[in-house]
Structure 1
Amino acid sequence: MSTHLRRRLAAVCWSAILVCIAALVPGTARADNPIVQHLYTADPAPLVYNGRVYLYTGHDEDGATYFDMREWRVFSSSDMVNWTDHGTPMNLDTFAWADENAWAGHVAQRGGKFYWYVPVRNAATGRMAIGVAVADSPTGPFRDALGRPLVENGEIDPAIFIDDNGQAYMYWGNPNLWYVRLNTDMISFSGAPTQIPLTTAGFGTRTGNPSRPTLYEEAPWVYKRNGQYYMIFAAECCSEFIAYSTAPSPTGPWTYRGTVMPRQGSSFTNHPGIVDFNGSSYFFYHNGALPGGGGFARSVAVERFSYNANGTIPTINMTTAGAPQVGTLNPYTRQEAETIAWGSGIETEPASEGGMNVGWIQNGDYIKVKGVAFGSGASSFTARVASAGAGGSIELRLGGPNGTLVGTCAVPVTGGWQTWTTATCPVSGAAGTQDLYLRFTGGGGYLFNVNWWRFAT
């Protein structure tokens, strides 16, 4: 957990002493959900590209009492458990015409470019509008593609679907549900936005709210499988559950099918995303599972699932275990320090050498990297480090933050938090496939930063 989250947790410990002690002790948080622990993330939008899953999220600010969101974040993984933090490739300043609410977006890839559709508040009108940014890489940086809203009707939560024939659609809406046909340039559309009829046959029956007779609330997610179109959505605030409908075409008519994920998870909102990757299906969502978490401090999580034989989606429950690992991680190639299955105490920041680095490291903090394939054994470990503090050590442990010690690498003082040097140390006993823990030790205050690491045989 981040230092900010740890401080917040300590502040509320008086009301839950035993729970807080368990959360503060290193090594007690051993699950893999939520998949990011050093900041709050929300509204997942996964995209499979070039052998990786790219996960686009919002960022709930620490201490928020509303949806205080000013930037978007990107993470990626090739194994569904070790996630690389790519930082903030887009924020409110990307859109000169917007002033607030960096809310739930969606990224689509076409023609070698990546298009990020997001709801933001138009400063000129005070209404929510949908903007679109474009990048040449899935990790950005993204730039405003239009210099103005793509559409503006006061509603939110865009989602993009590109059909087999190449026709792209954008769906969005709360309290209504809309779609528009996008042109091949992905930044303009043909015809006028069309409102999808919200019927109880199509989207289920809500009781006790005459102004909203159906379960549809927000956050549509549309895709096609075996000739059938699926729309997953957040249902019946508050608190929300995840439901879905199906249709024979991308424009309907929709038939309500039932619940995907029940009301769970200490957050009154939820937001779905479904992708297939490496032969399996994955359901992304958010909850309030981190210390200090809740409706305005959410965290993205993921579950693997299998469709029923008739194509229906089973009920999926939130877990702390998360999805199983796909394959293993190779420690003999350069690995970014911000590639993490679970982190305790650390945070990330842009590195002067490019990408991100792990920082704000204090004594006892650690990083877990899951399923590291050492093979017949490693003989040395090298890390790129920097320190304007007192320096310290990286303990290499297997199985847990206090597990088997296979090496200790001294980190010198380099004279600056971005003044980098390479530290190397011998390793003994690291063989087979193991969960690796980089445990950071030293004196008081912040110790050092880590940019990347690598083992050698």
Structure 2
Amino acid sequence: MTRLALAVGVVLTLAAPAHADNPIVQHVYTADPAPLVHNGRVYLYTGHDEDGSTWFTMKDWRVWSSADMVNWTDHGSPMSLNTFSWAKQDAWAGQAVERNGKFYWYVPVVTKATGRPAIGVGVSDSPTGPFRDALGRPLVENGEIDPTVMIDDNGQAYLYWGNPNLSYVRLNTDMISYSGGITRIPLTTAGFGTRTGDANRPTLYEEGPWVYKRNGLYYNVFAAKCCSEFIAYSTSPGPTGPWTYRGTVMPTQGSSFTNHPGIVDFKGSSYFFYHNGALPGGGGFTRSVAVEKFSYNADGTIPTINMTTTGPPAADTLNPYVRQEAETIAWGSGIETEAASEGGMNVGFINNGDYIKVKNVAFGGGATTFSARVASTVAGSSVEVRTGGPNGTLAGRCTVPNTGGWQNWTTVSCGVSGLTGTQDLYLRFSGGSGYLFNLNWWQFGGAR
């Protein structure tokens, strides 16, 4: 961690029980989830609410990924308002999609030129970025927000967006231009439900559309009726309608007056992403992304889904005998992350008693050694390897030396015992007062 980071770092102090795994990120506030499945992982694109926000104060976007839906790797911020030289403010809800080996991230921002929302496109060769401005200008600009993108089976891509209206364009195969004009979808009560008490908005549609296709049916899942919002959905036989309102997906709940859906299928199951205000200090402007597993009804309808603190079961095990990034976390207490000099991110801002939980770790016949990549400016701290909880059974302890700098890395190793089968791992950090050390990665050795 840099001296500047030391000066400005703010830790989200967590009092939640160790078994809680929703929200899925605990060290920063996240919002507006947009999942993308690619090469056996879920990549999750989110907004980032600033600490202590009293408005939608958002300056960058974040990326996370998981192979098991419970341990999430922090990939940092590969795109921000500064990516778009023409953007003024409001790094709000977007969505990314892959096509022909490139990743396109559609996001709404307010422009310097007009002071109105417009949609820009970031592009990258990697799902984790860095992203660059694909156009140097907005792709579309009609004063509305919340893009969602869908590529149909025939290769035709569609970009939808809007609050208070719902519009779309047909994207060309380059994904950064479109053919024809902007088409507005009729917001009828048959298509999007009936709102009462607001003559200006007769339907339930509010914002945050999420359009996708499944088994020949097109779904439009959206934030409904402000405020507070709930999640509703409509279906259609085609990508542009006609839409039929189907009902509620997630009722109003969760201490945030907004919500935002994201739905994917992954490793044979279906998952619903949303946000709430469940973290300490959380609320309508300091939100956090969470996820639930669900099953479609036999007729393709979506069941009612409620928020939980437990989240979904693990979709896979985690292999501790290969290098695992320290920023791959199911639940973290007290820590933050930052860019590491060796690449990627590292866990930092570690104080005595902070910990990381990693779920469903497949130790097999038993681990015998533990190694960790660490950096510190103080001596005498340690990484405690535990099971059963952050204060559970101690399997081993590795001492961390003074390496001469927060980014001067060394590898420490120690023996461990009692780690067999598949169980949750807790890395608890101990030492004196102040920041103790940084952790870049870890790995076990022994039987498999």
TM-score, length-normalised on structure 2? 0.97
Amino acid of the residue matched to residue 263 of structure 2?
Answer: I
Specify which of 399, 419, 431 is matched with residue 442 of structure 1.
Answer: 431
> In the TM superposition, what is the alpha-carbon distance from 1:434 to its structure 2 partner?
1.1
Match of 1:426 in 2: 415
Report if the CA contact (8 A) 1:3-1:345 is conserved: no
> In the TM superposition, what is the alpha-carbon distance from 1:225 to its structure 2 partner?
1.1
State how many pairs are aligned. 438
The alignment status of 1:5 with 2:5, answered yes or no, reads no
1:362-392 CA distance string (max 9 Å, x none): 0000000001111111110000000023450
Report if the CA contact (8 A) 2:276-2:289 is conserved: yes
Equivalences for residues 215-234 of structure 1 within 5 A: 215-234=204-223
The alignment status of 1:280 with 2:266, answered yes or no, reads no
1:402-456 CA distance string (max 9 Å, x none): 1110000000010100000000001111111110000000000000000000000
Match of 1:401 in 2: 390
Specify which of 132, 144, 151 is matched with residue 162 of structure 1.
Answer: 151
Distance in 1 separating the partners of 2:326 and 2:236: 44
1:90-145 CA distance string (max 9 Å, x none): 00000000010000000010000000000001011100000001000000000000
Report if the CA contact (8 A) 1:223-1:231 is conserved: yes
Range moving further from structure 2, 329-338 or 384-393:
384-393
1:2-59 CA distance string (max 9 Å, x none): 95322xxxxxxxxxxxxxxxx54xx734211000000000000000000000000000
Distance in 2 separating the partners of 1:390 and 1:5: 25
Amino acid of the residue matched to residue 349 of structure 2?
Answer: W
Amino acid of the residue matched to residue 343 of structure 1?
Answer: G
1:140-174 CA distance string (max 9 Å, x none): 00000000000001100000000000000000000
1:308-351 CA distance string (max 9 Å, x none): 01110000000001011012110000000000000000000000
1:265-301 CA distance string (max 9 Å, x none): 0000000000000010000000000000000000000
Match of 1:388 in 2: 377
Specify which of 375, 396, 400 is matched with residue 411 of structure 1.
Answer: 400
Report if the CA contact (8 A) 1:76-1:83 is conserved: yes
Distance in 2 separating the partners of 1:127 and 1:352: 38
Equivalences for residues 297-312 of structure 1 within 5 A: 297-312=286-301
Report if the CA contact (8 A) 1:57-1:73 is conserved: yes
Equivalences for residues 49-448 of structure 1 within 5 A: 49-448=38-437
Amino acid of the residue matched to residue 298 of structure 1?
Answer: R
Distance in 1 separating the partners of 2:10 and 2:86: 34
Distance in 1 separating the partners of 2:53 and 2:316: 38
3-state SS, counterpart of residue 286 of structure 2? coil
1:171-225 CA distance string (max 9 Å, x none): 0000000000000000000000100000000000000000000000000111111
Report if the CA contact (8 A) 2:18-2:389 is conserved: no
Distance in 1 separating the partners of 2:207 and 2:278: 22
Amino acid of the residue matched to residue 356 of structure 2?
Answer: I
3-state SS, counterpart of residue 239 of structure 1? coil
3-state SS, counterpart of residue 11 of structure 2? helix
Which structure 1 residue ranges, 4+ long, deviate > 3 Å from structure 2? none
Distance in 2 separating the partners of 1:154 and 1:181: 19
Amino acid of the residue matched to residue 4 of structure 1?
Answer: V
Report if the CA contact (8 A) 2:109-2:117 is conserved: yes
Percent same amino acid at aligned positions? 78
Distance in 1 separating the partners of 2:11 and 2:375: 22
Report if the CA contact (8 A) 1:3-1:346 is conserved: no
3-state SS, counterpart of residue 147 of structure 1? coil
Report if the CA contact (8 A) 2:106-2:121 is conserved: yes
Report if the CA contact (8 A) 2:378-2:401 is conserved: no
Distance in 2 separating the partners of 1:86 and 1:455: 23
> Structure 1: where are the runs of 5+ without partners?
7-22
3-state SS, counterpart of residue 386 of structure 1? strand
Amino acid of the residue matched to residue 197 of structure 1?
Answer: P
Distance in 2 separating the partners of 1:238 and 1:394: 45
TM-score, length-normalised on structure 1? 0.95
Distance in 1 separating the partners of 2:420 and 2:210: 43
